[in-house]
Amino acid sequence: MHVTQASTGSLIELLAPLVEGDGYTPTRLSAVSLIAMHRPSGRTPMIYEPSLIIVAQGYKIGYLGDREIHYGPGQYLVQTLPLPFECETHASPEAPLLGVAVHLEPALLGELVTASGEGIDDRDGGGKNEASPVPMASVSMTDGMQGAVERLLRSLHDPAETAAMGEARVRDVVFEALRGQQGPALRALVLHQGHYSRIVQVLSRLHAHYAEEVSVEELARQANMSPSTFHQHFKEIVQASPLQYLKRLRLLKAQQLLAQKSCNVNQAALAVGYRSVSQFSRDYKRYFGTAPLQHRKEEHSL
């Protein structure tokens, strides 16, 4: 059974006392962060790590290629890959956005997929009905997921319960996600079969070594595909070419560096793999709409 928007009031009551301000609030559980925003935000480039985003109040719209992904009360976002995208937030001081993010740990996913025995015959290995899993999608909240998230949030109100049962509560939430509409995309991350999984492995390498020089031919060899086949499947899954993805990833990493007072524009450009600071500044302004130096000043003034 799907949860209605009205029935998410219990999540709001559990979240409101826990958040400490706008943005992400860490918790005693390393995989869990709380989300709050008291003002709206227009389309902004960003990147999420693989995670589940459950919104209890307010809502967000994600833009990935030509797709619009709406998620708010009654839905949750399943993000299986670290994809640069644009996000719009609808919130106000009277009705702030409130949510919780659960990071998807590969070890836990692998353990749950193996234990459940599900999806072993559904690997994207080339069956006639094959369709690539979608790496980012909004999923309807079920009663099972609602209950799992409520138990997780209740445990965060009690340090003793967090220490004793917190990891089990996270496990409960991830298990419910595996049972949901995005279960195939989550299982594909650990089953290591088919072109989707090979693209996932390339993305993981790019994410870990984004400052290094790479070529599409080299990435195609890593995926054991021809360059043309690799480019086709990469763009189908990621909604960007490999070099577009790498550029966006580098710029988003640079944005994070510029928020640190110890990092200037030249240092950020070099750290993310740019050899030309002027080219970095042009790309940065084109992507974010603000020059990196101005962005840095605004971040530090806040």
DSSP state of 68: E
**Amino acid letter, residue 109:** L
CA proximity to 118, closest of 200, 177, 77: 177
Contact 36, 23 (CB under 8 A): yes
* Distances 242 to 153, 161, 235 between C-alpha atoms, Å: 38, 44, 7
Instruction: Name the 3-class secondary structure at 261.
Output: coil
State mean pLDDT over 141-158: 96
Q: What is the pLDDT of residues 188-246, one digit of tens each?
A: 888 766 788 888 889 988 988 999 999 999 999 999 999 999 999 999 888 899 999 99
C-alpha dihedral sign at 288, 261, 207, 82: negative
pLDDT at res. 6: 47
More confident position, 260 or 281: 281
pLDDT of 124 higher than 60: no
pTM exceeds 0.85: no
- Element containing residue 116 per DSSP (H, E): helix 106-116
Q: What is the pLDDT of residues 48-91, one digit of tens each?
A: 889 999 999 999 999 998 899 999 999 999 998 888 999 999 99
pLDDT at res. 287: 93
Query: How many other CB atoms sit within 10 Å of the CB of residue 65?
Result: 12
**Tokens in use for 177?**
């996600």
| Calpha distance 68→70 (Å, rounded) | 6
CB-count exposure of residue 14 (10 Å: 0-12, 13-18, 19+): buried
pLDDT at res. 123: 41
